[in-house]
C-alpha cells in the first residue's frame, strides 16, 4: 500500500468497541434488561448503542480502550469505552462526556478516598462543581434551581458518575454501598458556578487552575442545608448564619473539620460583594466562627463521648483553604446553602482541569502537497 500516494491521506481505522452486546426488541425491552441486571439507578436509562458510545469517544478524542483511570483499592481498570457506555445511559450527549471523564479521574485521586466514601454507611454523594467556558458550551444553568433540576447538562453529568459507580465498581445498595440512608444527591449532584454573575474569582481559580481553563471540582458530600437571612446587609451577620449551620452540622452529624461548600445566590452575594468582601475574606471569617466545643455535644444527646476532653475546640475548617465558596442560584431569595463533607478530612475535594491531557493528541493526518 502506498503511504504517500498523491491525493490520498492516511486511512484511519476506527478501533472496535470491546463490550459485549445484547439484542433487544425495543426500548421497553432494553429497560427491563438493564433494570433486571442491576445496571441502573432505578430510573429509565438511554439504551447505549454502539453509535452513541462511539460518538462520545469521537468527541473526546479517545480510543475505546484508553485507560481513563485505575480504581486504587481494587485496582480495577476503567476504560473510556466503559465510562462512555454509562454516560450514554445517563443521558449524556458527546459534549458532556469530557466533563464526566475529568470528574471520574478526579474521583480516582487517592485523597478523594473513593472506596471509603462510596461504601460507607455515611451515605454521601459525589458533588460536582463545573467552572470555565465549558459551562456555556454545554448549556449548564447556574441560576434558578442550581442545586435541583436546573438543566440537562448538570443532570446527566451527575447521573453518569453514579451509574459508573454502580456498574464499574459494583457500588450497589446492600452490596458494596452500605449507606444507611444516603440522600437524593446520589441520583445526580452537579452544579455550575455563576461566574458571569459575580466579581469573585471562580472556584477553579481559587483552587489553582489557570484562568481560561474549564475545570471540575468533586467532593464527597452530604445533602445541602438551606439557610435564610434576608434581614441584614452586613456580611458578618449573613455569614454568621452560615457559620451556625456549619456548627449545627458539627454537633448533629460529624464534628471533624474538612472541606465545606457554601453556595451563595445573588441576593446575599450582592450584599457581601458590595461590602468589599472576597471569597478569601469569607473563608477567614468562617474559619474563626465555625467551631464548637466538644462539651457542646452534651446538648445534642452525645454526652457519652465528651469524656475528659470537654474543653477541646473543633473547627469546621482545618484552615480557611478548606472552604469552597460557590456563586450560584437564582436572582431573588435571601437563601444560601451549606454542604458538609462526608467525614472530616478523611476525604478531600479534588479539582481537575478539563481537556488537559498529555497523551490524547488528535491523530495527525499527512496532507499531500500540491
Partner 1 sequence: MPAIAVMTERFVSAAELMSRALGMPGYGFVVIGHPISSASAAQLEGFAKATITQARRLLLSE
Partner 2 sequence: MTFRVLDPTNEKRDAGGRPAPRPGSLRGKTVGIISNGKEGTKEYFAHVARLLQEDLGVGEVVLRTKSNFSAPADAHIVDEIRRWQAVVTGVGD
Residues that bind partner 2 (CB under 8 A): 17, 19-26, 30, 33-34, 39, 47-50, 53, 73, 75-78, 82, 85-86, 89, 113, 115-117, 119-120, 163, 167-169, 343, 346
Task: Out of 31, 43, 144, 170, name the contact with partner 1 by CB under 8 A.
Answer: 170
Ranges of beta strands (E only) in 177-322 are 190-192, 215-228, 260-264, 291-293, 313-315
Least separation in angstroms between CB 83 and partner 1 = 18
Helices 50-60 and 80-90 pack at an angle, to 10 degrees, of 120
- CA Rg value for the chain: 23
> Closer CB to partner 1, residue 24 or residue 176?
176
> Closer CB to partner 2, residue 89 or residue 326?
89
Least separation in angstroms between CB 338 and partner 1 = 27
Say whether residue 175 binds partner 1 (CB under 8 A): yes
| Interaction partner, residue 176 (partner 2, partner 1, none; CB < 5-8 Å by kind) | partner 1
> Closer CB to partner 2, residue 73 or residue 356?
73
Q: DSSP letter string over 317-367?
A: SSSGGGEEEEE-S-SS-SEEEEEEESSTTSS--EEEETT--TT-PPPPP-P
Residue carrying the nine cell digits 433486571: 36
> Closer CB to partner 2, residue 73 or residue 332?
73
| Interaction partner, residue 23 (partner 2, partner 1, none; CB < 5-8 Å by kind) | partner 2
Say whether residue 74 binds partner 1 (CB under 8 A): yes
Q: Which stretch binds partner 1 (CB under 8 A): 157-165, 170-178, 212-220, 307-315?
A: 170-178
The HSE-up count of residue 339 (CA atoms within 13 Å, CB side) is 29
| Residue 9 three-state SS | coil
Least separation in angstroms between CB 80 and partner 2 = 13
Instruction: Identify the H or E element spanning 103.
Output: helix 97-107
State how far the Cα of 198 lies from the Cα of 271, in Å rounded to an integer. Answer: 12
- Conformation bin of residue 7: beta by default, left when phi > 0, alpha when psi is -120 to 50: left
State how far the Cα of 70 lies from the Cα of 114, in Å rounded to an integer. Answer: 11
Q: Which stretch binds partner 1 (CB under 8 A): 34-42, 160-168, 175-183, 224-232?
A: 175-183
Least separation in angstroms between CB 62 and partner 2 = 16
Least separation in angstroms between CB 177 and partner 1 = 9
| Interaction partner, residue 19 (partner 2, partner 1, none; CB < 5-8 Å by kind) | partner 2
Helices 279-289 and 235-252 pack at an angle, to 10 degrees, of 50
Structural contact between residues 320 and 280, judged by C-beta atoms closer than 8 angstroms: yes
Task: Out of 174, 199, 362, 370, name the contact with partner 1 by CB under 8 A.
Answer: 174
Contact residues toward partner 1 (CB under 8 A) are 74, 119, 170, 174-176, 178
Amino acid at each position: 500500500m502506498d503511504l504517500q500516494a498523491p491525493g490520498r491521506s492516511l486511512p484511519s481505522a476506527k478501533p472496535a468497541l470491546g463490550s459485549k452486546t445484547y439484542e433487544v426488541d425495543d426500548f421497553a425491552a432494553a429497560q427491563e434488561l438493564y433494570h433486571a441486571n442491576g445496571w441502573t439507578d432505578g430510573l429509565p436509562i438511554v439504551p447505549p448503542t454502539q453509535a452513541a458510545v462511539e460518538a462520545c469517544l469521537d468527541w473526546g478524542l479517545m480510543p475505546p480502550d484508553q485507560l481513563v483511570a485505575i480504581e486504587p483499592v481494587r485496582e480495577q481498570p476503567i476504560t473510556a469505552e466503559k465510562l462512555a457506555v454509562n454516560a450514554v445511559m445517563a443521558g449524556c450527549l458527546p459534549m458532556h462526556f469530557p466533563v464526566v471523564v475529568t470528574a471520574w479521574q478526579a474521583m480516582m485521586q487517592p485523597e478523594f478516598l473513593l472506596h471509603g466514601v462510596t461504601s460507607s454507611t455515611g451515605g454521601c454523594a459525589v458533588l460536582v462543581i463545573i467552572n470555565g467556558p465549558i459551562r456555556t458550551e454545554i448549556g449548564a444553568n447556574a441560576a434558578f434551581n442550581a442545586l435541583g433540576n436546573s438543566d440537562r447538562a448538570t443532570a446527566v453529568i451527575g447521573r453518569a458518575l453514579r451509574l459508573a459507580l454502580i456498574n464499574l465498581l459494583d457500588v450497589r445498595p446492600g452490596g458494596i454501598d452500605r449507606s444507611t440512608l444516603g440522600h437524593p444527591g446520589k441520583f445526580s449532584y452537579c452544579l455550575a458556578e455563576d461566574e458571569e454573575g459575580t466579581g469573585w474569582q471562580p472556584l477553579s481559580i481559587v483552587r489553582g487552575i489557570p484562568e481560561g481553563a474549564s475545570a471540575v471540582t468533586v467532593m464527597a458530600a452530604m445533602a445541602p442545608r438551606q439557610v435564610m437571612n434576608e434581614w441584614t446587609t452586613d456580611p458578618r451577620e449573613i455569614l454568621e448564619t452560615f457559620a451556625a449551620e456549619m456548627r449545627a452540622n458539627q454537633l448533629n452529624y460529624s464534628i471533624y473539620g474538612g472541606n465545606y461548600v457554601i453556595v451563595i445566590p445573588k441576593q446575599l452575594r450582592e450584599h457581601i460583594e458590595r461590602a468589599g468582601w472576597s471569597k478569601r475574606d469569607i473563608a477567614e471569617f468562617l474559619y474563626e466562627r465555625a467551631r464548637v466545643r466538644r462539651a457542646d455535644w452534651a446538648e445534642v444527646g452525645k454526652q457519652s463521648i465528651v469524656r475528659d476532653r470537654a474543653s477541646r475546640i473543633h473547627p469546621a475548617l482545618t484552615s480557611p483553604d478548606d472552604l469552597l465558596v460557590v456563586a450560584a442560584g437564582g436572582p431573588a431569595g435571601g437563601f444560601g446553602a451549606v454542604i458538609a463533607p462526608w467525614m472530616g478530612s478523611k476525604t478531600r475535594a479534588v479539582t481537575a482541569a478539563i481537556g488537559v491531557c498529555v497523551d490524547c493528541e488528535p491523530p495527525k493526518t499527512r496532507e499531500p502537497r500540491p
